[in-house]
């Protein structure tokens, strides 16, 4: 399960997305717009980025490729064991697939996963479930697909002994590109399921992995523990964003967020000022980004859009949008819809 503390991610994660975008004709500047990720950061193999920076990059990718079917799934297939450094190698050196799965969940924040991941067993199968409920709605399908495809890729890479994934289950109706997901994954997902999961026959979970190394397991476990400590960030702005994009929503006021973070409103305001920002700035930044995406990639009417991003009426949203973009929402949609 993901920890509540925001976790920093290595720069290798955005590099995969930037390379993926380049293969689809999207330049680096488009990907990095508004992320504060510089060329210097990208060239530093030890650099770390925040989840908010990664999420902004994801939003830019979705905006740049709105007509690319199964975009999240295709991106997820670009990740492999080596992408994740210590975490990936710790999985590879595990004794069995069961041990690897246990270790993956133990240090899950070191991966790209945004879904809440948990395991289950029945009489025949071992399953890994992915719950996307905590992900902001406008990114939920994309990140569910990315997490699922990444999981499939990693499980297959670990199963060098020939273990295969029995099936995948997905909630909801098949998307328009369901045939493409089947082709990409080599599996026909079972839709309208009660969960999002990938299943492996229970009998395969305890077979020895060919890459098992007992000495490396102990060393890499300790390295994973140290990596978690290093990557934790207590940046309050990140915690505020997590509340606004998660349980509280963009309608939340400063008092609501302060209560959720066990702070007084005065302390929250002061601490954000120390980080060079404000509650209002964070709210407006998130509202603007989501509004741009919905105007570009959806047919949501303005009344619904305004409410979705936390405004009480369309007029208030329109005034704010003109302040952000120097044009009306309708004009922006007309000039940027794809």
Q: Residue ranges of the domains in the chain?
A: 9-231, 236-336
Residue at token pair 């670990």? 158
Q: Which residue, 152, 135, 151, is CA-closest to 143?
A: 135
Q: Which CATH superfamily is domain 236-336 in?
A: Homeodomain-like (1.10.10.60)
Strands 197-201 and 167-169: antiparallel
CA angle, 132 then 160 then 17, to 5°: 40
The confidence band for 140, taking pLDDT boundaries of 50, 70 and 90, is very high
SS3 assignment, position 217:
helix
Q: What's the pLDDT score for residue 162?
A: 62
Q: Which residue, 26, 84, 80, is CA-closest to 58?
A: 26
Asked if the model's pLDDT at residue 297 lies above 70, the reply is: yes
Strands 9-10 and 125-131: unpaired
Q: What's the pLDDT score for residue 277?
A: 85
Q: What's the pLDDT score for residue 7?
A: 67
* Domain 9-231 fold: H-NOX domain (3.90.1520)
193, 195, 200, 203 alpha-carbon torsion, rounded to 10°? -100
Asked if the model's pLDDT at residue 126 lies above 90, the reply is: yes
Tell if the pTM clears 0.75, that is, is over it.
no
Query: To the nearest whole number, what is the mean pLDDT of the chain?
Result: 88
| pLDDT digits 0-9 by tens, 315-331 | 999 999 999 989 999 99
Distance from chain centroid for Cα 309: 20
136, 18, 177, 336 alpha-carbon torsion, rounded to 10°? 70
7 vs 326: which has the higher pLDDT:
326
């Amino acid at each position: 399960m993901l920890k509540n503390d925001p976790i920093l991610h290595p720069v290798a994660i955005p590099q995969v997305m930037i390379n993926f975008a380049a293969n689809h004709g999207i330049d680096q500047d488009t990907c990095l717009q508004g992320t504060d990720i510089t060329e210097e950061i990208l060239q530093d193999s030890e650099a770390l980025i925040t989840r908010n920076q990664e999420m902004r990059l994801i939003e830019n990718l979705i905006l740049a490729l709105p007509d690319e079917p199964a975009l999240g799934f295709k991106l997820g297939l670009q990740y492999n064991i080596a992408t994740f450094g210590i975490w990936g190698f710790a999985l590879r050196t595990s004794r069995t697939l069961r041990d690897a799965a246990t270790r993956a969940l133990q240090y899950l924040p070191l991966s790209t996963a945004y879904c809440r991941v948990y395991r289950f067993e029945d009489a025949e199968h071992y399953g890994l479930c992915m719950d996307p409920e905590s992900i902001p709605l406008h990114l939920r399908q994309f990140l569910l697909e990315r997490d699922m495809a990444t999981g499939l890729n990693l499980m297959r890479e670990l199963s060098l002994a020939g273990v295969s994934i029995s099936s995948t289950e997905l909630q909801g109706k098949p998307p328009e590109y369901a045939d493409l997901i089947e082709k990409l994954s080599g599996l026909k997902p079972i839709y309208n399921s009660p969960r999002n999961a990938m299943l492996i026959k229970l009998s395969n979970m305890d077979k020895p992995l060919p890459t098992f190394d007992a000495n490396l397991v102990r060393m890499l476990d300790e390295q994973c523990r140290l990596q978690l400590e290093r990557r934790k960030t207590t940046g309050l702005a990140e915690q505020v964003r997590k509340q606004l994009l998660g349980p509280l929503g963009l309608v939340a006021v400063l008092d609501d967020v302060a209560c959720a973070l066990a702070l007084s409103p005065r302390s929250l305001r002061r601490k954000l000022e120390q980080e060079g920002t404000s509650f209002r700035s964070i709210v407006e930044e998130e509202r603007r980004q989501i509004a741009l995406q919905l105007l570009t990639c959806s047919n949501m009417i303005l009344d619904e859009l305004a409410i979705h991003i936390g405004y009480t009426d369309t007029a208030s949203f329109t005034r704010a949008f003109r302040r952000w973009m120097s044009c009306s929402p309708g004009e922006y949609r007309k000039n940027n819809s794809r």
